[in-house]
Amino acid sequence: MRFGNLATAHVADACLRAGLPVRTVSLRPVVAARVAGRVLPAQHVGSVDIFLEAFESALPGDVLVVDNGGRRDEACVGDLVTLEAKAAGLAGLVVWGLHRDTVDIQAIGLPVYSLGAMPTGPLEMRTLPADALQSATVGEWTVTSDDVVVGDEDGVVFIPAARVDELLDLAESIRDTERRQAAQINAGTSLREQVRFDIYLAERKKRPSLTFREHLRGVGGAIEE
């Protein structure tokens, strides 16, 4: 996927520019690694077998997205699940919950994102939903195999698989504009000069309803969108 030279911030801004919900959550990588791939959903109910079943239908490059309800009283993924995921050809794991076996996961090297670490494993068995392998809820977002997830040090973003090319085109445009802006700042031209901030302030006095984003669209700036 073309995400390699982008950041989740660019993808999130692209969603906003395209009029899509910005489906993002603040998860931290266990190792400093990026991830991108089709969502492979799994709802955890207290046993590892749900992940093994998910791997049976996984495609190379999929990302296991684990829904453990955001629980912070148990870890639901450890080194064996991570190692099995790697052996199955997955690109990584995204866990709406906690992980354990941090040192071993770091040694495996597969990207794993979670809410944090805890030594305690699953505490109880719960009823397996009929759609346990069809969808996963992460934060306020429910995702399926019709979605793609991208992740880096800032967190993860979910985007519709059918609109990946469009969104990555937008993200690349935003990235390139920001790089030009950064280069100009380093060369001595402030961001205020680049976005003609003095003109914006003057125009806002005449028209108080004018927003900075409206002004940016007129001067070709990408920040905030």
12 phi/psi in degrees, rounded to 5: -60, -45
pLDDT above 70 as % of the chain: 97
Q: Name every residue whose Cβ is closer than 8 Å to that of residue 45 and which is 6 or more positions away in sequence.
A: 125, 126, 127, 128, 129, 132
User: Could you say which DSSP state residue 163 is in?
Assistant: G
Burial group, residue 10, by CB count within 10 angstroms (0-12, 13-18, 19+): buried
Return the pLDDT at 217: 79
**What is the band of 71 on the pLDDT scale with cuts at 50, 70, 90?**
very high
Helix (H), strand (E) at residue 105: helix 102-108
> Among positive and negative, which fits the CA dihedral 12, 167, 63, 105?
negative
Tokens encoding 155 = 């967190």
What does the pLDDT look like over 212-224, one tens digit per residue? 988 887 776 555 5
Tokens encoding 113 = 């994102």
What does the pLDDT look like over 187-217, one tens digit per residue? 999 999 988 999 999 999 999 999 998 888 7
SS3 195: coil
**Residue whose tokens read 């806002």:** 204
What does the pLDDT look like over 107-121, one tens digit per residue? 999 999 999 999 999
Determine how many CB atoms are found less than 10 A away from the CB of residue 28. Answer: 15
**What is the band of 4 on the pLDDT scale with cuts at 50, 70, 90?**
confident
**What is the band of 225 on the pLDDT scale with cuts at 50, 70, 90?**
very low
Mean pLDDT of 70-86: 97
User: Could you say which DSSP state residue 117 is in?
Assistant: B
**Residue whose tokens read 């998860």:** 27
Domain architecture of the chain: domains with CATH? 2-163 (3.50.30.40), 167-219 (no CATH)
Return the pLDDT at 60: 97
pLDDT above 90 as % of the chain: 87
Tokens encoding 156 = 């993860």
What CA–CA distance (Å, rounded) separates 84 from 164? 28
Tokens encoding 183 = 């280069």
Q: Name every residue whose Cβ is closer than 8 Å to that of residue 223 and which is 6 or more positions away in sequence.
A: 178, 181, 191, 195, 216
Return the pLDDT at 1: 67
Phi-psi map region of 101: left, alpha, beta (phi>0 left; psi -120 to 50 alpha): left
**What is the band of 35 on the pLDDT scale with cuts at 50, 70, 90?**
very high
Mean pLDDT of 165-173: 95
